[in-house]
Amino acid sequence: MISDHYSGLYENKTERQALKEAVDLFVNTFERTYTRVLSKGFFPSIEEQNQYRFSKKIALINNVQSRKDASIRADILIERGEIDAYYFVADYLDQALEKTGSNYPSLFLFKPFLQKKGISFL
């Protein structure tokens, strides 16, 4: 929700209302979680919990052993209308690193922290 502090950034109430309504949901998923995240009812349950219908629902898939299985599961959710799109992070990693001026070695600086959080990494 937009606080009153930011309301001066928009010319009128209609623009503020449009911004409030245009919220996309992105869910990151990894090897340990993708079967649950890409299962029937997961995304609708998030909308139900938040009592909000998101403009778009997108799955970001990271480091899965079976890309084919993840794709099949995500395609089924698209057919059911539960998600709008999915992306494999690996497909965009080089582009993101270039855009941010980072490199692969700099990513590994975070590896110990990410592993402690149970996140699989490159």
Q: Which residues pair with 61 in a beta bridge?
A: 29, 88
CA 101 to chain centre: 22
* 94 vs 47, more confident: 47
Question: Does the predicted TM-score (pTM) go above 0.75?
Answer: no
Closest to 121 measured CA to CA, from 26, 59, 28, 37: 28
Helix (H, G, I), strand (E, B) or coil at 34: helix
**40 pLDDT band (50/70/90 cuts)?**
very high
Over pLDDT 90: what percentage of the chain? 52
Give the Cα separation of 34 and 73 in Å (integer): 9
